[in-house]
Amino acid sequence: RSRAKLMTGQSVKVTFDDIAGVDEAKEELTETVAFLKDPKKFTRLGGRVPKGVLLVGPPGTGKTLLAKAIAGEADVPFFSISGSDFVEMFVGVGASRVRDLFLQAKKHAPCIIFIDEIDAVGRHRGAGLGGGHDEREQTLNQLLVEMDGFETTEGVIVVAATNRPDVLDPALLRPGRFDRQVTVPVPDVRGREAILQVHAREIPLADDVDLSLIARGTPGFSGADLENLVNEAALMAARENKDQVTMADFEAAKDKVLMGAERKSLILS
Ligand code: ATP
């Protein structure tokens, strides 16, 4: 990721309507949107608006999409960075990047800062084998300094995502830092159907396509898997010069997606 992209607050068009099957998470995040739109309304009686929201859930469940949707719904810029970007950096570079990021964000407030894979920098300090993960610790320390160093009335909300909340340094979870946690689970059967509906919105479906049947046949699929499924089905139908995507295309696509997943887990194991 280039430095330029990191520093530019993007405006995003994603809204909560683009995300399905995670209704509870959306409901909790509606509050965050309201804070961004009018922080003073909430602090009028001396309350403190949360600075940080931690989205916790397995890969591909829509954490990044939710963070973008907060920005989209509130119509504020979106600054993003990934914890893994810091992993191979020279000592000091990560910390100064974090500082720059918050500086830029404050200039463009109200806005969202999104930190994907926060566990890559936010691991429990001193937990590394062989010790001496100076760079990561400096980056994490800078992040803590920055989170303590702004007032939420400034309108910056930091959203972070992880699938490993258990390894996070407890300092990150203290009040005034990431003190809100929102769970983003793998969708259940109704969630899967809703997600299929979102991704099939712009796709011409044949009459025989039954999204609820597809939802029942795809246990364990994440939102990202389902998006992939719809996409593969549309490509299969197009390859055969059809004008509509049929149930047979979905079945063939499912085999393909499942095979891809199997190959991935073979490589990983
Ligand atoms: P990771 O942990 O791998 O970064 P993530 O939880 O951030 O994953 P996203 O990047 O938000 O997942 O999801 C990837 C893509 O999968 C999205 O762009 C979207 O197309 C689709 N998707 C995932 N979850 C959902 C959902 N709940 N509703 C609709 N689409 C979804």
Q: For position 88, what pLDDT does the model report?
A: 66
CA of 19 to the centre of ligand 1 (A): 8
Ligand 1 within 6 A of 61 CB?
yes
Q: What pLDDT sits at residue 92? A: 76
Query: In angstroms, what CA-CA distances link 29 with 35, 47, 210?
Result: 10, 18, 31
Nearest atom (ligand 1) to Cα of 55:
6
When pLDDT is averaged across residues 130-159 and rounded to a whole number, the result is: 81
Percent of the chain, pLDDT > 90?
65
Share of the chain above pLDDT 70, in %: 88
pLDDT at 16: 97
DSSP string, 86-136: GTTPPTTHHHHHHHHHHHHHHHT-SEEEEEETTHHHHB-TT-STTS--HHH
Arithmetic mean of pLDDT, 251-266: 83
Residue 268 has pLDDT above 70, yes or no: no
pLDDT of residue 14: 94
Question: How many angstroms separate the Cα of 23 from the Cα of each of 20, 142, 186?
Answer: 7, 34, 12
Mean predicted confidence (pLDDT) in 204-230:
97
Which of the two residues, 183 and 137, has the higher pLDDT score?
183
Residue 248 has pLDDT above 60, yes or no: yes
Ligand 1 atom nearest the C-alpha of 18 is 29
Q: How far is the CA of 216 from the centre of ligand 1 (A)?
A: 20
Cα 62 to Cα 22: distance, rounded to the nearest angstrom? 8
pLDDT of residue 169: 92
Cβ of 161 below 6 Å from ligand 1: yes
Beta bridge partners of 140: none
CA atoms within 13 A on the CB side of 39: 15
Collapsing DSSP to helix, strand or coil, 43 comes out as helix
pLDDT of residue 100: 92
- Whether 128 shows a pLDDT value over 60: the answer reads no
Cα 212 to averaged position of ligand 1 atoms, centre (Å)? 20
Q: Is the per-residue pLDDT at 264 higher than 80?
A: no
- Report whether 50 belongs to an annotated binding site: no
Amino acid at 110: P
Q: Is 94 within 8 Å of 142 (Cβ atoms)?
A: yes
115 burial (CB, 10 Å; 0-12 / 13-18 / 19+) is buried
| Average pLDDT across the chain, whole number | 88
- Please indicate if the annotation marks 26 as binding a ligand: no
Ligand 1 in contact with 200 (CB < 6 A)? no
User: From CA 61, how far away is CA 104, in angstroms rounded?
Assistant: 29
For range 27-40, the mean pLDDT: 91
Higher pLDDT, 125 or 114: 114
195 lines ligand 1 (CB under 6 A): yes
Nearest ligand 1 atom, CA 21: 27
The answer to whether 63 is annotated as binding is yes
Name the closest-CA residue to atom 22, ligand 1: 223
Query: What totals of helices (H) and strands (E) does the chain contain, helices first?
Result: 11, 5
d(C-alpha 234, C-alpha 189), whole Å = 22
ipTM computed for the complex: 0.96
Is residue 110 marked as binding?
Answer: no
pLDDT at 265: 67
To test the ligand 1 pocket, which listed residue (16, 85, 201, 227) has its Cβ within 8 A of the most ligand atoms?
227
| For range 185-189, the mean pLDDT | 97
The sheet that has 180-183: what strands, in order across it?
Answer: 78-82, 111-116, 156-162, 52-56, 180-183
Q: What is the per-residue pLDDT for 269?
A: 52
Q: Is 20 in the pocket of ligand 1 (CB under 6 A)?
A: yes
Name the residue with higher pLDDT: 55 or 5.
55
Q: Which tens digit of pLDDT belongs to each residue from 56-99?
A: 999 999 999 999 999 999 999 999 999 888 766 676 788 899 99
Query: Residue 60: helix, strand or coil by DSSP?
Result: coil
Q: 132: CA distance to ligand 1 center in Å?
A: 34
Which pLDDT score, from 0 to 100, does residue 127 have?
53
Question: What is the model's pTM?
Answer: 0.89
